[in-house]
């Protein structure tokens, strides 16, 4: 067989396979859109379209408040993760110290612990911490005013703690691919390690930082377990928690849930679509280095 025909045939087969995969992946999303554009009666009948489910969604749920809560929790958690992972990865990769390997191994072990096995102890710890009082400028300050159950800060801290091990591992791997000679040359020029981190390492690590940020945004935004435990009151619920309790004690309206699911999923999808090239670049550059 002609090599050119063989290549064309293989490309055609690959194209057909990809088309099948695209259809399989997009079918649930299209089904959600179609279902959300029907009322409950139309869904049962299997015909007709209306915006009744969307109208009910904004009546039964404080959608904008829950989207704001999700945005605040996601932004806070990602910010803490980036601070910890960028500085920690820099230390483990370029500022080796005695016992750094064991510390790094301990951090990696955090990736292997199921969230479900530690979430209850974390819940108890946050409740106990929230009962504490601290002295602020001679004034007694109750921690539970800003931290504890039904406080956004508690969810932010938990998400940061859960996401930091993987992010630190990824940043450490990426930093190790940056030539150590750059650090040594900067030290010879009189730069401090903080200046090297800020002016040399961070600019070079933008692809990895983008990768960590996008992955953590998707993870935190779509999470339900932590939000369901730590953000229970309507005023602080995230959009995923709001959807989980939307039909509590009522007859489930599938079109209504599909409309809410679309509202919840779209921000994460948009973030991925915007930064997908940066995400792939960060992952592949980390592997190549």
pLDDT score of 1: 59
pLDDT for the residue numbered 249: 54
Question: What pLDDT does 135 receive?
Answer: 63
| Residue numbers in the chain where pLDDT is lower than 50 | 286-289
The per-residue pLDDT for 137 is: 62
Predicted confidence at residue 176, as pLDDT, reads 87
pLDDT for residue 245 = 83
Which of 78, 84, 94, 80 is CA-nearest to residue 201? Answer: 94
pLDDT of residue 136: 64
Report in angstroms the alpha-carbon separations of 22 from 16, 141, 243, 252.
10, 55, 27, 30
Average pLDDT, the chain: 86
Closest CA to 239 of 128, 95, 74: 74
Q: Which of 267, 260, 255 is nearest to 58 (CA)?
A: 260
Beta bridge partners of 141: 134
Domains and CATH numbers, the chain: 61-288 (1.10.3720.10)
- Strand partners of residue 142: 133
Q: Check residue 289 and give its pLDDT.
A: 46
């Amino acid at each position: 067989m002609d090599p050119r025909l063989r290549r064309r045939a293989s490309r055609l087969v690959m194209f057909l396979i990809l088309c099948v995969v695209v259809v399989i992946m997009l079918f649930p999303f299209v089904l959600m859109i179609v279902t959300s554009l029907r009322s409950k009666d139309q869904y049962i009948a299997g015909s007709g379209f209306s915006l009744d489910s969307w109208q009910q969604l904004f009546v039964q749920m404080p959608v904008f408040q829950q989207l704001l809560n999700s945005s605040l929790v996601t932004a806070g958690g990602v910010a803490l993760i980036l601070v910890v992972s960028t500085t920690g990865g820099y230390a483990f990769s370029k500022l080796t110290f005695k016992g750094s390997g064991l510390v790094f191994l301990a951090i990696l072990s955090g990736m292997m612990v199921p969230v479900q096995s530690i979430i209850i102890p974390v819940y108890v710890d946050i409740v106990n911490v929230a009962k504490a009082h601290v002295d602020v400028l001679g004034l007694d300050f109750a921690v539970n005013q800003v931290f504890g159950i039904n406080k956004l800060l508690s969810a932010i801290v938990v998400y940061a703690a859960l996401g930091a091990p993987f992010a630190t591992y990824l940043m450490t791997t990426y930093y190790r691919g940056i030539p150590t000679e750059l650090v040594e040359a900067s030290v010879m020029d009189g730069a401090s390690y903080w200046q090297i981190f800020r002016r040399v390492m961070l600019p070079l690590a933008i692809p990895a930082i983008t990768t960590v940020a996008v992955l953590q945004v998707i993870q935190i935004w779509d999470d339900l377990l932590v939000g369901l435990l730590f953000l229970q009151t309507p005023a602080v619920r995230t959009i995923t928690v709001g959807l989980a309790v939307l039909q509590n004690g009522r007859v489930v309206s599938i079109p209504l849930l599909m409309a809410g699911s679309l509202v919840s999923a779209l921000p994460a999808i948009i973030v991925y679509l915007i930064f997908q090239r940066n995400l792939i670049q960060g992952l592949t550059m980390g592997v190549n280095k």
